[in-house]
A and B are shown apart, each in its own frame.
Chain A
């Protein structure tokens, strides 16, 4: 475990450094003068010069990359091109909304997806299993923007329930939760299907194990066997999945935040791309990537902790 941990940490650090290099090089790859791109031809030469100077855009490229790296290490991600506010503060203000969205989506997916998977696995080849099989594929293939638009059409626009836009008041938990319900569900639908499929197949595997047969021979009720004994082992592979899923959840927040006009990192990135406000894009993308990397690391280590069989170093063969 120790050697694996070191290797895994070293790979993570190398990955983060590579990401940082890519992001700090962004501005140099953008065709044209970034200041002109943002301010348009109307910016007076003096003003453009001043902005360029403040941003350090006249420094040689390696100096700029080094500046960004040392700034990022100190938590300074530069300044907004347009308002001049620190990027770190803007990102920090948007981060909680995206985290709340992604985590509640994961919660909804777990609460719905896991029991559905168990249900299908305990009745293999029944009608319920077949219907659930079709439904889960339909859910898995449904992009979050389609589910978001459909939920928007059904609930706020047709039934007139639940708010259509905004994030609500952070100080009022009930109001905030009401605003969170539809966007989180839109994001969760894919993962309800995914979890149901993964839990089903790993439950089927576990239900064939000897200890389950022993439990049956002892006369335990099927429900008890499924939920108390089998699920405990069947749930382990989903932990490894959760790390990967957070990345897709974070990608999905881009669409969902846009559809429900929620503040957050996703809508921040899209808005900044439209304005070509690259310091914001760089900072927000960096934070999204860091969350993804951290989640992956955490899920991987938890998985290894929970299932001793995978602790053998398989990395070399990967």
Chain B
């Protein structure tokens, strides 16, 4: 970092940010797994944005005469028990996956960050109480905790977001707490304090910038896990309710007719695997690039 004599204008700053992001993406594409991750995630995100343009049919369009068909010219990947086009449903399914995984991971990060900062910075009794609560929450297998909470909240997409966030938050809190502990003891923090800086200022200008980066990496690695947890809950019938084309709902509907035709199971299984694989490769490439110390760790698994 070189010292800036004149602060750059907003346009220049945005330009530099974009250039840096582009450089990072190119950098990630240098390993073959990183390249695969970047490609798969790029395709995935394009599909999320362009779903109505690339899907041949609507996700709820029924072609009753063409139920449970295999792939054909008309329906590239076949149809389900209501004659809905599986390809179109899988394409719209990317939107459901993102609609749950992104807000859930972000919410988990924010909640975990606040709790972790509070525990790590305050220490003492608050810290001990939070650690016991986090430990108790992490003694539940993530899926089981989510199931128990969904029984209380009922079945809806926003509830799935909340439940997945609750199941993931302790991992972020733990990470934030551990790095806060380390930074808190640094000499420059003591210097700041002796100069009369408030706790808020110390946390905002020194602790936060150090605590956040590893949390973002954890989030990148957690997104595919959130996708699989959502699909799993929906598969059991406790997640996203039909007719929304969640891949889990599609798997459930296909499972009920698995003896008649494999396609309604195979299509969502394939899209689920390709997207989680892409996000995992991307997340791990990001982690190896930004924080090699974390190599080998993987965020809480759910399914």
CB < 8 Å neighbour of A138 from B136, B232, B277: B277
Q: Does B298 lie at the interface of the complex (its beta carbon under 8 Å from any beta carbon of A)?
A: yes
Q: Is B280 touching A30 in the complex (CB atoms < 8 A)?
A: no
**A30-B152 Cα distance, complex, nearest whole Å:** 5
Q: Is A146 touching B144 in the complex (CB atoms < 8 A)?
A: no
Stretch at the interface among A13-21, A171-179, A227-235: A13-21
Q: Does A55 lie at the interface of the complex (its beta carbon under 8 Å from any beta carbon of B)?
A: no
Q: How far does the Cβ of B291 sit from chain A's closest Cβ, in whole Å?
A: 16
Contacts of A201 in B (CB 8 A): 295-296
Q: Is A14 touching B132 in the complex (CB atoms < 8 A)?
A: yes
Q: Is B269 touching A150 in the complex (CB atoms < 8 A)?
A: yes
1/0 per residue A171-205: CB within 8 Å of B? 00000000000000000001000100110010000
CB < 8 Å neighbour of B258 from A22, A149, A251: A149
B window 14-37: CB within 8 A of A: 32-33
1/0 per residue A7-31: CB within 8 Å of B? 0000100111011001100100111
Q: Does B178 lie at the interface of the complex (its beta carbon under 8 Å from any beta carbon of A)?
A: yes
**Given A281-B148, A317-B181, does the pair A137, B280 have CB atoms closer than 8 Å?**
yes
Q: Is A255 touching B303 in the complex (CB atoms < 8 A)?
A: yes
Q: How far does the Cβ of A248 sit from chain B's closest Cβ, in whole Å?
A: 5
Q: Is B136 touching A145 in the complex (CB atoms < 8 A)?
A: no
Looking at chain B's contact residues, is the secondary structure mostly helix, strand, loop, or mixed? helix
Q: Is B144 touching A248 in the complex (CB atoms < 8 A)?
A: no
Stretch at the interface among A65-73, A76-84, A285-293, A300-308: A285-293
Interface size on A, residues (CB 8 A): 58
B window 91-132: CB within 8 A of A: 131-132
Stretch at the interface among A206-214, A216-224, A267-275: A267-275
Contacts of A288 in B (CB 8 A): 140-141, 144
CB < 8 Å neighbour of A140 from B143, B235, B280: B280
Q: How far does the Cβ of B12 sit from chain A's closest Cβ, in whole Å?
A: 39
Instruction: Specify the chain A residue showing the minimal Cβ separation from B269.
Output: A146
Instruction: Specify the chain A residue showing the minimal Cβ separation from B224.
Output: A141
CB < 8 Å neighbour of A198 from B236, B277, B296: B296
**A224-B232 Cα distance, complex, nearest whole Å:** 43
**Given A149-B251, A152-B258, A273-B151, does the pair A255, B273 have CB atoms closer than 8 Å?**
no
Interface residue ranges, B against A (CB under 8 Å): 32-33, 131-133, 135-136, 139-144, 147-148, 150-152, 174, 178, 181-182, 224, 228, 231-232, 235-238, 251, 254-255, 258-259, 262, 265-266, 269, 272-273, 276-277, 280-281, 284, 295-296, 298, 301-303
11 A-B pairs (CB sep. < 8 Å): A18-B135, A146-B272, A197-B296, A201-B295, A254-B144, A273-B147, A273-B150, A274-B237, A288-B140, A292-B141, A317-B182
Please give me the 8 A-B residue pairs with the lowest Cβ-Cβ distance, nearest first.
A251-B141, A18-B136, A143-B303, A251-B143, A143-B228, A141-B276, A247-B141, A15-B135
